[in-house]
Amino acid sequence: MKPDLDKRKVVLGLSGGVDSAVAAVLLQEAGADVQALHMTNWEDEDGYCTAAADLQDARNVCEQLNIPLHHVNFAKQYRDRVFQYFLHEYSVGRTPNPDVLCNREIKFGVFREYARRLGGELLATGHYARTDIVDDRPVLLKAADLNKDQSYFLHAVSAEALAQTVFPLGKLQKDDVRRIAREHGLVVHDKKDSTGICFIGERPFRDFLSTYLPANPGPIRTPDGRDVGHHHGLMYYTLGQRQGLGIGGRQDASDEPWYVVDKHPESNALIVAQGDTELLLSESLLATEASWIGVPPANLADGYRCMAKVRYRQPDQPCWVESRADNTVFVRFDKAQRAVAPGQFVVFYEAETCLGGAVIDQINKPVDAGSAIMRPPGNLAGHG
Which burial class, exposed, middle or buried, applies to 316 when counting CB atoms under 10 A from its CB (0-12, 13-18, 19+)?
Answer: middle
CA dist., res. 261 & res. 350, Å (int): 30
Active site residue 354: no
CA dist., res. 259 & res. 186, Å (int): 44
97 in Cβ contact with 342 (< 8 Å): no
Give CA angle at 26 (24, 30), nearest 5°.
115
Active site residue 49: no
β-pair partners for 36: 12, 69
Residue 341's alpha-carbon distances to 191, 287, 324, 359, in angstroms, are: 32, 11, 20, 10
The DSSP output letter for 232 is: S
To the nearest 10°, report the CA torsion of 182, 185, 188, 193.
-10
The DSSP output letter for 122 is: E
CA dist., res. 248 & res. 257, Å (int): 7
Helix, strand, coil shares of the chain as percentages rounded to 5? 25, 30, 45
Q: Determine which one of 62, 102, 306, 319 is catalytic.
A: 102
Q: DSSP 3-state assignment of 227?
A: strand
Q: Determine which one of 198, 306, 319, 354 is catalytic.
A: 198
Amino acid identity, position 162: L
CA dist., res. 183 & res. 137, Å (int): 37
Among residues 145, 130, 126, the alpha carbon closest in space to that of 61 is found at 126
List strand residue ranges (DSSP E) for the chain, in order: 9-13, 33-40, 69-73, 122-124, 130-134, 137-141, 165-166, 218-221, 227-231, 258-264, 269-274, 281-292, 304-309, 317-324, 328-338, 345-350, 353-364
CA dist., res. 156 & res. 141, Å (int): 13
Active-site residues: which are they?
102, 198
